[in-house]
Protein backbone atom coordinates (compact mmCIF):
# COMPACT_ATOMS: atom_id res chain seq x y z
CA UNK A 1 0.00 0.00 0.00
CA UNK A 2 1.23 3.49 -0.85
CA UNK A 3 2.63 5.57 2.00
CA UNK A 4 1.33 9.06 2.85
CA UNK A 5 4.32 10.84 1.22
CA UNK A 6 3.74 8.84 -1.98
CA UNK A 7 0.04 9.73 -2.01
CA UNK A 8 0.92 13.38 -1.40
CA UNK A 9 3.40 13.31 -4.27
CA UNK A 10 0.71 11.83 -6.56
CA UNK A 11 -1.82 14.54 -5.60
CA UNK A 12 0.88 17.18 -6.14
CA UNK A 13 1.52 15.86 -9.66
CA UNK A 14 -2.21 16.02 -10.50
CA UNK A 15 -2.42 19.54 -9.02
CA UNK A 16 0.64 20.69 -10.97
CA UNK A 17 -1.00 19.44 -14.17
CA UNK A 18 -4.18 21.37 -13.35
CA UNK A 19 -2.13 24.47 -12.51
CA UNK A 20 -0.41 24.22 -15.90
CA UNK A 21 -3.84 24.05 -17.56
CA UNK A 22 -5.06 27.10 -15.63
CA UNK A 23 -1.88 29.06 -16.37
CA UNK A 24 -2.16 28.26 -20.06
CA UNK A 25 -5.87 29.01 -20.26
CA UNK A 26 -6.87 31.28 -17.34
CA UNK A 27 -10.65 31.55 -16.75
CA UNK A 28 -10.89 35.01 -18.29
CA UNK A 29 -12.85 36.58 -21.15
CA UNK A 30 -14.66 33.93 -23.21
CA UNK A 31 -13.19 31.19 -20.98
CA UNK A 32 -14.79 32.69 -17.86
CA UNK A 33 -17.12 29.73 -17.35
CA UNK A 34 -18.15 28.10 -14.09
CA UNK A 35 -16.25 24.93 -14.99
CA UNK A 36 -13.02 26.81 -15.70
CA UNK A 37 -13.32 28.79 -12.48
CA UNK A 38 -13.95 25.58 -10.55
CA UNK A 39 -10.81 24.06 -12.10
CA UNK A 40 -8.78 27.16 -11.21
CA UNK A 41 -10.12 27.14 -7.65
CA UNK A 42 -9.33 23.44 -7.26
CA UNK A 43 -5.84 23.80 -8.74
CA UNK A 44 -4.72 27.00 -7.03
CA UNK A 45 -6.61 26.87 -3.72
CA UNK A 46 -8.49 23.70 -2.71
CA UNK A 47 -5.98 20.97 -3.62
CA UNK A 48 -2.92 22.91 -2.38
CA UNK A 49 -4.66 23.52 0.97
CA UNK A 50 -5.46 19.79 1.15
CA UNK A 51 -1.86 18.83 0.33
CA UNK A 52 -0.49 21.33 2.85
CA UNK A 53 -2.80 20.06 5.61
CA UNK A 54 -2.03 16.38 5.03
CA UNK A 55 1.66 17.16 4.57
CA UNK A 56 1.68 19.00 7.89
CA UNK A 57 -0.06 16.06 9.57
CA UNK A 58 2.46 13.71 8.00
CA UNK A 59 5.37 15.77 9.34
CA UNK A 60 3.78 15.94 12.80
CA UNK A 61 3.41 12.17 12.81
CA UNK A 62 7.03 11.83 11.68
CA UNK A 63 8.11 14.15 14.48
CA UNK A 64 7.11 11.43 16.96
CA UNK A 65 9.92 9.21 15.71
CA UNK A 66 13.03 8.60 17.76
CA UNK A 67 15.29 9.44 14.82
CA UNK A 68 13.53 12.80 14.44
CA UNK A 69 14.18 13.75 18.09
CA UNK A 70 17.77 12.53 17.99
CA UNK A 71 18.61 14.33 14.75
CA UNK A 72 19.17 17.51 16.80
CA UNK A 73 22.70 17.17 18.18
CA UNK A 74 21.70 18.50 21.61
CA UNK A 75 19.64 15.32 21.98
CA UNK A 76 22.51 12.97 21.11
CA UNK A 77 23.48 12.17 24.75
CA UNK A 78 19.85 11.27 25.48
CA UNK A 79 19.83 8.94 22.50
CA UNK A 80 23.13 7.48 23.67
CA UNK A 81 21.62 6.81 27.10
CA UNK A 82 19.19 4.37 25.47
CA UNK A 83 22.18 2.08 24.88
CA UNK A 84 23.53 1.96 28.44
CA UNK A 85 24.35 -1.64 29.30
CA UNK A 86 22.41 -2.08 32.52
CA UNK A 87 19.51 -4.49 32.36
CA UNK A 88 17.63 -3.27 35.43
CA UNK A 89 19.06 0.07 36.40
CA UNK A 90 18.54 2.72 33.77
CA UNK A 91 14.87 3.12 33.02
CA UNK A 92 15.15 4.59 29.48
CA UNK A 93 17.72 1.97 28.44
CA UNK A 94 15.76 -1.02 29.76
CA UNK A 95 12.53 0.25 28.24
CA UNK A 96 14.15 0.85 24.89
CA UNK A 97 16.32 -2.26 24.68
CA UNK A 98 13.55 -4.60 25.83
CA UNK A 99 10.96 -2.98 23.56
CA UNK A 100 8.78 -1.97 26.50
CA UNK A 101 8.22 1.14 24.41
CA UNK A 102 8.07 1.15 20.60
CA UNK A 103 11.68 1.81 19.66
CA UNK A 104 10.71 3.98 16.71
CA UNK A 105 8.77 6.32 19.03
CA UNK A 106 10.71 5.89 22.26
CA UNK A 107 11.11 9.59 23.13
CA UNK A 108 7.51 10.48 22.35
CA UNK A 109 5.90 7.59 24.22
CA UNK A 110 7.58 8.51 27.51
CA UNK A 111 7.60 12.28 27.10
CA UNK A 112 4.08 12.96 25.89
CA UNK A 113 1.47 13.68 28.53
CA UNK A 114 -1.32 11.17 28.89
CA UNK A 115 -4.05 13.76 29.24
CA UNK A 116 -6.85 14.87 26.92
CA UNK A 117 -4.66 17.41 25.10
CA UNK A 118 -1.32 15.80 25.90
CA UNK A 119 -0.54 14.94 22.29
CA UNK A 120 -1.41 18.44 21.13
CA UNK A 121 0.66 19.96 23.91
CA UNK A 122 3.62 17.76 23.01
CA UNK A 123 3.35 18.85 19.39
CA UNK A 124 3.15 22.54 20.31
CA UNK A 125 6.18 22.11 22.56
CA UNK A 126 7.94 20.30 19.73
CA UNK A 127 7.28 23.29 17.45
CA UNK A 128 8.76 25.50 20.15
CA UNK A 129 11.83 23.27 20.33
CA UNK A 130 12.28 23.63 16.57
CA UNK A 131 11.98 27.39 16.82
CA UNK A 132 14.53 27.58 19.64
CA UNK A 133 16.89 25.20 17.82
CA UNK A 134 16.90 27.20 14.60
CA UNK A 135 16.28 30.77 15.71
CA UNK A 136 16.94 30.92 19.45
CA UNK A 137 19.61 29.83 21.92
CA UNK A 138 19.60 26.22 23.01
CA UNK A 139 20.11 26.05 26.81
CA UNK A 140 23.25 24.27 27.98
CA UNK A 141 21.26 22.01 30.26
CA UNK A 142 18.11 20.49 28.80
CA UNK A 143 15.34 20.43 31.37
CA UNK A 144 11.74 19.26 31.32
CA UNK A 145 9.03 21.91 31.39
CA UNK A 146 7.81 20.41 34.66
CA UNK A 147 8.94 17.54 36.90
CA UNK A 148 8.26 14.15 35.31
CA UNK A 149 4.76 13.04 36.26
CA UNK A 150 4.05 9.52 37.56
CA UNK A 151 0.92 9.64 35.40
CA UNK A 152 3.11 8.95 32.36
CA UNK A 153 4.60 5.83 34.01
CA UNK A 154 1.28 4.60 35.38
CA UNK A 155 -0.38 4.94 32.00
CA UNK A 156 1.39 1.70 31.06
CA UNK A 157 2.39 0.20 34.41
CA UNK A 158 -0.86 0.51 36.35
CA UNK A 159 -2.57 -2.84 35.99
CA UNK A 160 0.58 -4.56 34.78
CA UNK A 161 1.47 -7.67 36.81
CA UNK A 162 5.11 -6.71 37.41
CA UNK A 163 3.93 -3.43 38.93
CA UNK A 164 0.82 -4.63 40.76
CA UNK A 165 2.38 -7.61 42.51
CA UNK A 166 5.07 -5.48 44.17
CA UNK A 167 4.18 -4.98 47.83
CA UNK A 168 6.05 -1.70 47.92
CA UNK A 169 4.05 -0.39 44.99
CA UNK A 170 0.83 -1.47 46.72
CA UNK A 171 1.81 0.34 49.91
CA UNK A 172 2.74 3.51 48.03
CA UNK A 173 -0.05 3.40 45.49
CA UNK A 174 -1.89 6.48 46.74
CA UNK A 175 1.34 8.49 46.99
CA UNK A 176 2.36 7.46 43.50
CA UNK A 177 -1.00 8.31 41.99
CA UNK A 178 -0.99 11.69 43.75
CA UNK A 179 2.54 12.29 42.44
CA UNK A 180 3.72 12.90 46.00
CA UNK A 181 6.57 10.45 45.53
CA UNK A 182 8.15 10.31 42.10
CA UNK A 183 8.75 6.94 40.48
CA UNK A 184 12.22 8.26 39.69
CA UNK A 185 13.07 8.52 43.40
CA UNK A 186 13.57 4.76 43.32
CA UNK A 187 14.03 4.15 39.59
CA UNK A 188 16.12 7.20 38.66
CA UNK A 189 18.18 8.91 37.53
CA UNK A 190 16.52 8.50 34.16
CA UNK A 191 18.99 9.36 31.42
CA UNK A 192 21.96 9.85 33.77
CA UNK A 193 23.72 12.14 31.32
CA UNK A 194 26.30 13.25 33.92
CA UNK A 195 27.72 9.72 34.19
CA UNK A 196 27.17 8.68 30.60
CA UNK A 197 30.86 8.71 29.70
CA UNK A 198 31.62 6.14 32.42
CA UNK A 199 28.87 3.71 31.55
CA UNK A 200 29.17 0.70 29.26
CA UNK A 201 27.06 0.45 26.09
CA UNK A 202 25.02 -2.51 24.97
CA UNK A 203 25.68 -3.45 21.37
CA UNK A 204 22.98 -6.05 20.88
CA UNK A 205 21.04 -7.22 17.88
CA UNK A 206 19.32 -3.87 17.38
CA UNK A 207 20.68 -1.49 14.78
CA UNK A 208 22.44 1.36 16.54
CA UNK A 209 21.38 4.42 14.50
Cite the beta strand spans of 5-56 per DSSP E. none
Q: Is 63 in the site for another protein (CB under 8 A)?
A: yes
- Interface with another protein includes 40 (CB under 8 A)? yes
Q: Does residue 23 bind another protein (CB under 8 A)?
A: yes
Residue of 1, 2, 28, 105 interacting with another protein (CB under 8 A): 28
Q: Does 76 bind another protein (CB under 8 A)?
A: no
Asked whether position 27 contacts another protein by CB under 8 A, the answer is yes
Q: Which of 1, 38, 39, 65 binds another protein (CB under 8 A)?
A: 65
45 is an interface residue for another protein by CB under 8 A:
yes
DSSP 195: G
Of residues 36 and 149, the one with the C-beta less far from another protein: 36
- Number of Cβ within a 10 Å radius of residue 107: 23
CB of 16 to another protein, least distance (A): 6
Ramachandran region, residue 148 (left: φ > 0; alpha: ψ -120 to 50; beta: rest): beta
- Structural contact between residues 172 and 181, judged by C-beta atoms closer than 8 angstroms: yes
What is d(CA 145, CA 118) in angstroms, rounded to the nearest whole number? 13
- Number of residues in contact with another protein under rule CB under 8 A: 40
Q: Which stretch binds another protein (CB under 8 A): 55-63, 114-122, 153-161, 168-176?
A: 55-63
Residues 169 and 146: their CA atoms lie apart, in Å, by 24
Which CA distances in Å does 151 have to 6, 53, 92?
37, 32, 16
The answer to whether residues 63 and 126 touch, using CB atoms and an 8 Å cutoff, is yes
Q: Is the peptide bond before 73 cis (omega within 30 degrees of 0)?
A: no
Q: Which of 67, 61, 53, 60 is nearest to 8 (CA)?
A: 53
* Closest distance of CB 52 from another protein, Å: 5
- Least CB distance from residue 106 to another protein, whole Å? 15
Point out which span in 10-18, 89-97, 144-152, 188-196 binds another protein (CB under 8 A): 10-18
In the complex, which residues of this chain contact another protein (CB under 8 A)?
4-5, 8-9, 12, 15-16, 19-20, 22-23, 26-32, 40, 43-45, 48-49, 51-52, 55-56, 58-59, 62-63, 65, 67-68, 71-72, 130, 133-134
Amino acid sequence: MASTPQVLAAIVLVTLFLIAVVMRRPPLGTRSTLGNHATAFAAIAALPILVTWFGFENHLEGSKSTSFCLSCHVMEPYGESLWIDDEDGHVPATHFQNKRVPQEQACFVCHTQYTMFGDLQAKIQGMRHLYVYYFGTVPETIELYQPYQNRECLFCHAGARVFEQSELHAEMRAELEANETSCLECHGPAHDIENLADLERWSGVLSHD
